[in-house]
């Protein structure tokens, strides 16, 4: 599976600039992954009903990206603001097949909400479960951003036969945070995703955005998205990683054979104590 | 909670040498953690019924370590070969209170079995579940070695109010393995355990053995136990780490307040999708 991740900063002309990168990437990869909510600024930085406007053309957005996937003959993982009904919206990854048809979609299941990431205001938690999406390049375990902090969705995708975990992402620093805290957050973010690869013997690909986006409320200066998009092999080793400030395409190749090799000698799935995991379905064991 | 980990190489006089280290550690810590199966060589390197002899004095072992805990006034996490009945043995961590009474025990739930680690021959998988042990220094999430590769036991212990995860461990390299593969294994071992701290906002303490132990079967040269015992804070940051070859005591201090702080701003427990985790209780989603 030859894949490419596109890491960009938001600008009003981002769609056409992403298409240029897809054209470039399509020469070396047949799976292309875009960052979270790549069409728009990260509007969740503030709670404002006017931002629901970004979802109003969801059907047209689908047609647009379908056309792009078909034009360049790639499997394309997009991340869109889905309007499902009036007053009902999702943060949704839509995967397009090389012929432009929709291979499947994933509605973000874990929704964050913390200062400058007010996602619970905008997105209803997903109701499609943790179901991989079958494509011509393989079975994709598509998840989104906040999901990446939880071992459960990674495990569930792997158990459903996903050949790779894919995380469109929008995460960054608040400028107010001390540099050491920024570094520590980035380190934790890399570590937790490496652990999904290690625990499940599965590659991981995460496309994050870059650039500074101002907080229009003035509560904070804004978010500096930390980039560092990466691809890990099935052992959790980095095979590609972007900088924190460049608009780039990064490439990697992963294989089912690698997953087989690592799982045969580190056979965690052989030994899971499913007879003793029942309480994982509780909120808390009290 | 002031804790100490004791990292040792096996020798026939190891018990008395461990007691010396406990005496030293008891001056600075009130929780002391020993490595896996610290009384004996790592006998699982080969399948041999004679090795069940190491479990025949389990009751006397309990009395011995009870006496040590009482003498030095510490909470002591031991790792013993438990004989439960003829032909029924467990890999069991027994925790002693400062007065020498047994605070609780944990029987290793996930049992490995791969070349030179033939544990399924010796140990029946635990039947006490993932239940933390209450002590005068706090609620301890005691797990053992192979458990450390699984996100589920870490999650379950955290959800049951454990204040720290503790892993007595015996892991090392086969000398036959290339140096890069050895480094990669060590890296994965650190990473997966950091991820338990990060995912759960909980400190982690892992005591591993050092030293070379010969494979009596001659199938392999033997195992070089890789040491690197460590303590992580609730953010997954190393606050102490031993070398790969020194017999040492390492110290750290962790607090419930740190757990509270990190969980309040990174509130993963708030957002777990327990309505969608049911398939975690399956062997595979096919």
DSSP designation for B51? G
Place of tokens 């995912």: B199
Q: Which residues of A fall within a CB distance of 8 Å from B149? A: 198-199, 266, 268
Å from B115 to nearest chain A CA? 9
0.95 surpassed by pTM: yes
| Statement: residue B10 has pLDDT above 90 | yes
Å from A51 to nearest chain B CA? 23
Give the alpha-carbon dihedral of B101, B107, B112, B113, to 10 degrees.
Answer: 90
β-bridge mates for residue B31, sequence order: B3, B75
Q: Is residue B220 part of a domain?
A: yes
Q: Is residue B213 part of a domain?
A: yes
Q: Is residue A286 part of a domain?
A: no
Under 8 Å between Cβ of A93 and A99: no
Do the Cβ atoms of A277 and B188 come within 8 Å?
Answer: no
Residues in chain A: 286
Q: Which residues of A fall within a CB distance of 8 Å from B184? A: 235, 237
Under 8 Å between Cβ of A219 and A175: no
Q: Give the pLDDT band (50/70/90) at residue B276.
A: very high
- Whole-angstrom distance, CA of residue A61 vs CA of residue A75: 16
Under 8 Å between Cβ of A144 and A170: no
Query: Out of B150, B151, B282, whose CB is closest to A159?
Result: B282
Cβ neighbours of residue B179 under 8 Å, at least 6 residues apart?
none
Q: Which residues of A fall within a CB distance of 8 Å from B159? A: 279-280, 282, 284-285
Q: Report the pLDDT value the prediction gives residue A212, as an integer from 0 to 100.
A: 98
Mark A172-192 as b/e (b = at least 16 C-beta within 10 Å). Answer: bbbeeeeeeebeebbebbbbb
| Statement: residue A263 has pLDDT above 90 | yes
Size of interface A-B (CB pairs under 8 A): 151
Question: Quick one: angle between helices A58-72 and A14-25, nearest 10?
Answer: 30
Q: Is residue B7 part of a domain?
A: yes
Averaged pLDDT, A221-240: 98
Greatest extent of chain B over all pairs of C-alpha atoms, in Å: 55
Q: Report the pLDDT value the prediction gives residue A26, as an integer from 0 to 100.
A: 98
Do the Cβ atoms of B156 and A280 come within 8 Å?
Answer: yes
DSSP calls for A42-53: -GGGS--GGGGG
Task: Give the nearest chain B residue to A188 (CA atoms).
Answer: B198
Which CATH number belongs to the domain containing residue A141 in this structure?
3.60.110.10
Do the Cβ atoms of A159 and B266 come within 8 Å?
Answer: no
Averaged pLDDT, B178-184: 94
- Whole-angstrom distance, CA of residue B22 vs CA of residue B60: 19
Q: Is residue A213 part of a domain?
A: yes
Domain that holds residue B277: 2-281
CB neighbourhood size of A218 (10 A): 9
Catalytic center residues of A? 36, 108, 145
DSSP designation for B158? H
Q: Assign 3-class secondary structure to B208-219.
A: CCEEEEECCCCC
Burial zone of B24 (CB within 10 Å; 0-12 exposed, 13-18 middle, 19+ buried): middle
- Whole-angstrom distance, CA of residue B286 vs CA of residue A154: 16
Q: Which residues of B fall within a CB distance of 8 Å from A280? A: 152, 155-156, 159, 274, 277, 280-281
Q: What is the pLDDT of residues A57-103, one digit of tens each?
A: 999 999 999 999 999 999 999 999 999 999 999 999 999 999 999 99
Residue B101 tokens, joined: 């009474």
Q: Is residue A153 part of a domain?
A: yes
- Whole-angstrom distance, CA of residue A42 vs CA of residue A44: 6
Q: Is residue A11 part of a domain?
A: yes
Q: Is residue B286 part of a domain?
A: no
Q: What is the pLDDT of residues A19-43, one digit of tens each?
A: 999 999 999 999 999 999 999 999 9
Q: Report the pLDDT value the prediction gives residue A91, as an integer from 0 to 100.
A: 98
| Statement: residue A128 has pLDDT above 90 | yes
- Whole-angstrom distance, CA of residue A132 vs CA of residue A161: 8
Can B83 be counted among the known catalytic residues?
no
| Statement: residue B175 has pLDDT above 90 | no
| Statement: residue A175 has pLDDT above 90 | no
Residue A284 tokens, joined: 């808390």
Task: Give the nearest chain A residue to B108 (CA atoms).
Answer: A273
What is the number of domains present in chain B?
1
Do the Cβ atoms of A125 and B195 come within 8 Å?
Answer: no
């Amino acid at each position: 599976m030859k894949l490419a991740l596109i890491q960009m900063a938001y600008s009003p002309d981002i769609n056409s600039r992403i298409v240029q990168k897809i054209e470039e990437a399509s020469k070396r990869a047949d799976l292309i992954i875009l960052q979270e909510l790549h069409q728009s600024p990260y509007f969740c930085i503030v709670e404002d009903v006017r931002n629901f406007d970004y979802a109003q053309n969801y059907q047209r957005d689908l047609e647009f990206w379908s056309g792009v996937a078909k034009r360049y003959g790639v499997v394309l993982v997009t991340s869109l603001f889905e309007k499902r009904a009036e007053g009902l919206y999702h943060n949704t990854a839509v995967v397009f097949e090389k012929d432009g048809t929709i291979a499947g979609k994933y509605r973000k299941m874990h929704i964050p909400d913390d200062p400058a990431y007010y996602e619970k205001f905008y997105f209803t938690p997903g109701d499609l479960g943790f179901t991989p999406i079958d494509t011509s390049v393989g079975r994709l375990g598509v998840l989104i951003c906040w999901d990446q902090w939880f071992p459960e969705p990674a495990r569930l995708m792997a158990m459903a036969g996903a050949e790779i975990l894919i995380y469109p992402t929008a995460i960054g620093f608040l400028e107010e945070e001390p540099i050491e805290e920024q570094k520590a957050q980035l380190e934790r973010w890399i570590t937790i995703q490496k652990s999904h690869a290690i625990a499940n013997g599965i590659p991981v690909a995460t496309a994050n955005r870059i650039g500074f986006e101002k907080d229009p409320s003035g509560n904070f200066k804004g978010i500096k998205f930390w980039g560092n998009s990466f691809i890990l092999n099935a052992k959790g080793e980095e095979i590609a990683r972007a900088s924190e400030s460049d608009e780039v395409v990064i490439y990697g190749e992963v294989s089912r054979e690698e997953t087989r090799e690592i799982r045969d000698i580190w056979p965690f799935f052989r030994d899971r104590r499913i007879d003793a995991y029942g309480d994982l379905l509780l909120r808390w064991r009290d």
